[in-house]
Chain A
Amino acid sequence: MKAVCWMGKSKMETLNVADPTLLNPHDAIIKITRTAICGSDLHLFDGFIPTMQAGDIVGHEFMGIVEDVGKEVTNLKRGDRVVVPFTISCGRCLFCRKQLWSLCDNTNPNAHIAETMMGYTPSGLFGYTHMLGGYAGGQAQYARVPFANVGPLKIESDLPDEKVLFLSDIFPTGYMAADNANIEEGDTVAVWGCGPVGLFAISSAFMLGAARVIAIDRFPERLDLARSLGAVTVNYAEDDVSVLTALKDLTGGMGPDSGIDAVGMEAHSNDLQGAYDKVKTALFMETDRPGVLRQAIMGVRKGGTLSIPGVYGGVLDKVPFGAAMNKGLQMRMGQTHMQKYMKPLLERIEKGQIDPTFLISHRITLDEAPKMYEIWRDKKEKVTKIVIDPWAAKAA
């Protein structure tokens, strides 16, 4: 089959590799009909997250048709149409039982690496480093899905793939970001980053009762999308705009009740701290560029909540923890507990409450994927979301 492989920093290649096979009794093989590139895949492309190996098949947002199931898979059969969550969960451990699905105890074959780096291991993920399992990902024509009786969500309506594909990660991730923000009716919520997760977080914040959402980014096309969802926008790249001042100006000096950091480890900053983090990460003295996290801690009101769906990888520098403590902030974060959110969000799509296709800017083939990684990294061509049809022939 064809698959997009990570072949080193800034190097993706679409290669012919072996088809996946059933390896465990709860496995399923999915013939992938639609897959996507996630903003977090750019962290891998940029070499920001350790423990990738040359040859790794990337991709964790995919859906398709069940091709084959292991002997213990009871709720799926060949021909079922499913969306696959990006986290792999066993459904039996204490964490799964507590609905903390992304913290599953039993799905990371390389748990010892994660334990060394983080104390305890979260769940395995598709196509996202060996410290989180080393599982082959879904930017491919087929994928092996472990614990298929727990993860994949069956789509029984005739909704087109593109309307349900984002249930695999970014819609639940944006929704959990808002859920984690402790939003009370009438709250003002600031969202850093208007990429796909940020945009879904904006929609979800309104669904959960926010009166006003302030969206922060630097790309006009993304801020346009944020305004189309009902947010007011702050473009921090415009002359004389200070995000912290803007947040005060827009909230009567109080600050937003909640903040959502939908940016994560590779924050772009156009001030001195941006240069500081670039130098330190280049010298391997820091793993992440936490510009947004610093600003969000400063910007959220006293006693407010900071929700962090943005991915961080390692050890952060100069994070104003004193501000967080003295202002009595709550912080909530983590990879998404997919199984908790997928079904209710599918119902919202089925009822027509939200059409997630508004995000899609590019539709491509697998062969075009490596080039699109570069285009997206370089923030060209107004990319908001790239969807791949793995069976489409190469464009002329």
Chain B
Amino acid sequence: MANALKEKPHAESLPLVASAGILRDGKYMAPPADKDGKTWVRTTAQIQASPLDCYELWRNYAAVPLWQEQIKEVRLKGKNSHWVMESRTGKTIEWDEELMQDEPGKRLVWRTVDGDSYNAGEVIFEEAPGDRGTIVTVLQEFGQGRLKTLTDTLTNRNPKQAVIENVRHFKAFMETGEIPRTEGQPHGPRGVTGTVKAEAYGEHIKTPPGLERKAS
């Protein structure tokens, strides 16, 4: 059975366990379901850069506010890192993170050890099949239930969408050095409908600055 198809000139060896639980024994695995007061998100992007370059930008704490939404500051605190997040209303929350695994060019694993918000996550950097850059996969868990996630959706940004958008920003930042934005461009009067739509489309969330990334 295993060798039923012999002609596959470009097939690559199959990763049996890969990308934050996407594959197990060659079978696709669905992301973890939200339950027991936990919210999960898994998202991925293919990036035209090497796994090591992607790893280095992700691992660069000082650069995090350039590409992650609403992160005001990340600074080292002993062997941990201290994170400050500012929501659109100006309210800040802070937490400390411990880096549990650090494999250069391959993988990072972290968890919150203290603070206002709990999350734990893993990011994996692996070469895309066919030499097409790097596949970055993030699996992250937030210590909040569905009700809080729903309130976040309505008032600010829910953490699932934030992770999805941050991975998108990361890709744009890696590939182009900037993050696409429209805030600050001219427009006519929005009126009530325009303002409601802008909120519904998530345009009220500030796009991270991006700026020019120093070539690594």
Contacts and interface: CB of A to CB of B under 8 A. Distances in A.
Interface in A2-28: 3, 5, 7-8, 13, 15, 17-21, 23-26
A15 B191 CA distance: 14
B148 interface: no
Interface string B25-58: 0000000000000000000001010000000000
A24 B188 contact: no
Interface stretch (A32-40, A109-117, A282-290): A109-117
Interface string B157-197: 00001001100100110011111111111111111011001
B59 to A, nearest CB: 22
Interface stretch (A129-137, A155-163, A270-278): A129-137
B186 A109 contact: no
Given A72-B177, A72-B212, A112-B202, A55 B189 contact: yes
Contacts of A360: none
Contact of A109 (B48, B133, B207): B207
Q: Binding site of A, secondary structure by majority: helix, strand, loop or mixed?
A: loop
A112 B165 contact: yes
B184 A21 contact: yes
A138 interface: no
A20 B185 contact: yes
Contacts, number: 124
A8 B191 CA distance: 10
Interface string B203-216: 10001001110000
B203 A26 contact: no
Interface residues of A, number: 49
Contacts of B182: 109, 133-136
A385 B183 CA distance: 32
Ranked 7 nearest A-B pairs via Cβ: A5-B188, A55-B188, A54-B194, A53-B194, A18-B186, A55-B187, A106-B172
Interface of A: 1, 3, 5, 7-8, 13, 15, 17-21, 23-26, 51, 53-57, 71-72, 90-94, 97, 105-113, 124, 130, 133-136, 140, 144, 146-147
18 contacts: A7-B191, A8-B193, A19-B186, A23-B184, A24-B181, A24-B210, A26-B177, A54-B188, A105-B171, A105-B172, A107-B180, A108-B180, A111-B168, A130-B197, A133-B180, A134-B203, A136-B187, A144-B185
